[in-house]
Structure 1
Amino acid sequence: MTAVRVFATLALQGVIEQARSELEAAAAMGLDVRFAPTADLMACIGRGEEADVAVLTRGAIEDLIGRGLLTTDNRIDLAVSHIAAAVKAGAPHPDIGTLDAFQSALLEARSVAYSRTGISGSHFADLIERLGIASALNARAQVPSGGFTATLLVDGRCDLAIQQLSELRVVPGIEIVGHLPEGAQLATVFTAGRFARSAVADAAAAVISCLASPLLQPVFQKCGLDVPAT
Structure 2
Amino acid sequence: MKVSFKPVLALALAACCSLAQAADLTVMTSGGFTAAYKRLGPQYAAKSGDTLTTVLGPSMGKAPQAIPNRLARGEHADVVIMVGYALDELIKQGKVDPASRVELADSRIGMVVKQGAPKPAIATAAQFKQTLLAAKSVAYSDSASGVYVENELYKKLGIQPQMAPKSTMVERLPVAEQVAKGEYQIGLQQVAELLPVPGVTFVGKIPEELQSVTRFAAGIPVSAEHPAEARQLLDYLASPGAQADVRASGLDSVPR
Q: TM-score, normalised by structure 1?
A: 0.90
How far, CA to CA, are the matches of 2:74 and 2:197 in structure 1?
32
- Aligned residue number for residue 162 of structure 1: 188
Q: What is the identity, as a one-letter code, of the residue corresponding to 2:244? A: P
Q: Any unmatched runs of 5+ in structure 2?
A: 1-21, 61-65
Identical pairs, percent = 30
In the TM superposition, what is the alpha-carbon distance from 1:123 to its structure 2 partner?
Answer: 0.3
Aligned residues: 229
Q: Residues 117-136 of structure 1: matches in 2 within 5 Å?
A: 117-126=142-151, 127-136=153-162
In the TM superposition, what is the alpha-carbon distance from 1:98 to its structure 2 partner?
Answer: 2.0
Regions of 4+ moved over 4 Å = none
Given that residues 26 and 203 in structure 1 are in contact (C-alpha distance below 8 angstroms), is that contact kept between their aligned partners in structure 2? no
Given that residues 23 and 229 in structure 2 are in contact (C-alpha distance below 8 angstroms), is that contact kept between their aligned partners in structure 1? no
In the TM superposition, what is the alpha-carbon distance from 1:130 to its structure 2 partner?
Answer: 4.5
Q: What is the identity, as a one-letter code, of the residue corresponding to 2:26? A: R
- Are 1:45 and 2:66 an aligned pair? no
Which of residues 148, 152, 158 is equivalent to 2:174? 148
Q: How big is each residue's C-alpha offset from its partner over 1:99-148, in whole Å with a ceiling of 9 and x where there is no partner?
A: 22111101111221111x21000000012245343343232334311121
- Aligned residue number for residue 19 of structure 1: 40
Which of residues 117, 121, 126 is equivalent to 1:100? 126
- Aligned residue number for residue 111 of structure 1: 137
Question: Partner of 2:97: helix, strand, or coil?
Answer: coil
How far, CA to CA, are the matches of 2:164 and 2:39 in structure 1?
35
Given that residues 36 and 147 in structure 1 are in contact (C-alpha distance below 8 angstroms), is that contact kept between their aligned partners in structure 2? no
Q: What is the identity, as a one-letter code, of the residue corresponding to 2:41? A: R
In the TM superposition, what is the alpha-carbon distance from 1:27 to its structure 2 partner?
Answer: 4.5
How far, CA to CA, are the matches of 1:184 and 1:67 in structure 2?
32
Q: Residues 1-230 of structure 1: matches in 2 within 5 Å?
A: 3-39=24-60, 40-115=66-141, 117-126=142-151, 127-230=153-256
The higher relative CO (CA closer than 8 Å, separation ≥ 6) is in 1
How far, CA to CA, are the matches of 2:255 and 2:190 in structure 1?
19
